[in-house]
């Protein structure tokens, strides 16, 4: 049934082991340096691949101090994505995919989306437009794994 997309693959089928502490620290350092509060990153290996997945858990009250306009937010986002792409390249983190898990006030999942790292980098570098970037973002993560299942697996492995 999984082969025809009726059942989701399990976390054990998608991810190979516990989080990568070096890559996780490198990504969280970029977030801290950028002044982003309320976002926690975790980097984990992808099963059957040399690459890794960077998961950003964002709480409803996350902030980046001093941003008050859409234009400022856009600049801040592209600057932060550029720094994350640079950290990935310079530290050979192997991040191939990025997922963002947006949590509500009581910790419930409001939205989860994912994109290939090459698309994130292309947007950060300005080689594709915001529209092109958003057209490549998957806004349904349920075909991979539920966020709750992933968190439980990671906590058990750490």
- For 15-61, write each residue's pLDDT tens digit: 556 889 999 999 999 988 888 888 889 999 988 888 999 988 887 66
Is residue 141 predicted with pLDDT exceeding 70? no
Q: Tell whether 137 is covered by a domain.
A: yes
- For 61-93, write each residue's pLDDT tens digit: 666 565 566 676 677 677 888 888 889 999 999
Query: Which domain covers residue 103, as residue numbers?
Result: 14-157
Q: Tell whether 32 is covered by a domain.
A: yes
Rounded to an integer, the average pLDDT of 113-125 is: 89
Q: Tell whether 47 is covered by a domain.
A: yes
Q: Which residues partner with 54 through β-bridges? A: 43, 98
Q: Tell whether 107 is covered by a domain.
A: yes
Tell me the two tokens of residue 30.
Answer: 């970029």
Q: Tell whether 5 is covered by a domain.
A: no
Q: Tell whether 4 is covered by a domain.
A: no
Question: To which H or E segment does residue 64 belong?
Answer: strand 52-64
More confident call, 112 vs 69:
112
Total of domains in the chain: 1
Dihedrals φ, ψ of 106, to 5°?
A: -100, 15
Dihedrals φ, ψ of 78, to 5°?
A: -65, -35
At residue 66, the pLDDT reads 58
Residue where the block lists tokens 């350092």 = 29
Rounded to an integer, the average pLDDT of 103-115 is: 75
Q: Tell whether 54 is covered by a domain.
A: yes
For all residues of the chain together, what is the average pLDDT? 76
Q: Tell whether 6 is covered by a domain.
A: no
First to last CA, the chain: 31
């Amino acid at each position: 049934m999984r082969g025809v997309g009726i059942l989701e693959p399990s976390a054990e089928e998608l991810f190979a082991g516990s989080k990568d502490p070096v890559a996780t620290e490198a990504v969280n350092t970029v977030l801290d340096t950028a002044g982003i509060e309320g976002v926690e990153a975790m980097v984990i290996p992808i099963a059957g691949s040399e690459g890794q997945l960077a998961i950003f858990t964002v709480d409803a009250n996350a902030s980046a101090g001093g941003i008050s306009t859409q234009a400022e937010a856009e600049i801040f986002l592209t600057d932060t994505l550029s720094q994350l792409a640079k950290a990935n390249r310079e530290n050979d983190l192997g991040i191939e995919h990025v997922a963002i898990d947006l949590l509500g006030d009581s910790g419930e999942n409001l939205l989860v989306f994912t994109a290939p790292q090459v698309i994130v980098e292309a947007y950060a570098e300005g080689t594709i437009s915001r529209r092109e970037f958003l057209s490549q973002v998957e806004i349904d993560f349920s075909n991979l794994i539920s966020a709750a299942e992933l968190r439980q697996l990671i906590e058990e492995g750490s």
